[in-house]
Amino acid sequence: MNLPWWHKPLDKLSSTEWEALCDGCGLCCLNKMEDIDTGEVYFSRVACRLLDINAACCGNYAQRADKIADCLNLREINREDFRWLPPSCAYRLRAENQPLRPWHYLICGDKNRIHQLCRSVRHFALSEREGYAIDDFLLFSLEEILGEEEDK
Ligand code: SF4
Ligand code: SF4
């Protein structure tokens, strides 16, 4: 990783550096449930009503915290709450001192690669706005939809 800021701790990144770390997958905007017995987090195919599924990004990023009460503000939550992020999330990987995935645009140089590989919400998410219920579309694992990472 040749980025000059790569070795800076997450909480030392500037706003521009922070935003640049996002891979644009949109997976963090899928509605989730936690098994209160095990602490396991399960994703669903149903996305937050503000998510622009085709663009795989928030439809009102500037006001997201005011609009959606349980939107995760990654700069403010505890590191232990990063378990609510998909394992491939660049922020989670960075927090765990893991390398970014090969499809991340900072690695491959192509912001469309993640979509071409069907690793973004664009290819499978359903909007909460359309009335889909999370209970009907829970996933055992994100790999059910995304495929194994080793395949990419
Ligand atoms: S899961 Fe992480 S990398 Fe993907 S869109 Fe959300 S914040 Fe960005
Ligand atoms: S408010 Fe925006 S950033 Fe937050 S979960 Fe919804 S779509 Fe994602």
Question: Residues 90-109: pLDDT tens digits?
Answer: 999 999 999 999 999 999 99
Q: Which of 99, 16, 107 is nearest to 5 (CA)?
A: 16
Q: Please give the number of the atom of ligand 1 that sits closest to the Cα of 24.
A: 5
Angle at 113 between CA 86 and CA 99, to 5 degrees: 50
152 has a pLDDT exceeding 90: no
Residue nearest to atom 4 of ligand 2 (CA): 71
Task: Starting from the CA of residue 91, give the closest ligand.
Answer: 1
Q: Which of 81, 74, 103, 80 is nearest to 10 (CA)?
A: 74
Give the tokens for residue 29.
């905007």
Q: Measured in angstroms, how far is the CA atom of residue 68 from the centroid of ligand 2?
A: 7
Q: Measured in angstroms, how far is the CA atom of residue 115 from the centroid of ligand 2?
A: 19
Average pLDDT, the chain: 92
pTM above 0.85, yes or no: yes
Q: Measured in angstroms, how far is the CA atom of residue 21 from the centroid of ligand 1?
A: 8
Task: Starting from the CA of residue 61, give the closest ligand.
Answer: 2
pLDDT band at 136 (very low <50, low <70, confident <90, very high): very high
Percentage of the chain modeled with pLDDT above 70: 96
pLDDT band at 144 (very low <50, low <70, confident <90, very high): confident
Task: Starting from the CA of residue 74, give the closest ligand.
Answer: 1
Confidence (pLDDT) at 151: 46
Q: Are strands 41-47 and 57-58 parallel, antiparallel or unpaired?
A: unpaired
Residue 57 beta carbon below 6 angstroms from any ligand 1 atom? no
Are 47 and 128 contacting, i.e. CB atoms less than 8 angstroms apart? yes
> Could you give the 3-state DSSP secondary structure of residue 34?
strand
25 has a pLDDT exceeding 90: yes
Ligand 2 site residues (CB inside 6 A) read 29, 48, 50-51, 58, 64, 67-68, 71
More confident residue, 148 or 106: 106
HSE toward the beta carbon, residue 7, CA cutoff 13 A: 2
DSSP letter for each residue of 95-132? HTT-PPPTTSHHHHS-TTHHHHTT-SGGGT-EEGGGT-
Give the tokens for residue 26.
């949109």
Which residue matches tokens 């995935």?
101
Contacts of 45 (CB under 8 A, 6+ apart): 30, 124, 125, 126, 132, 137, 139, 145
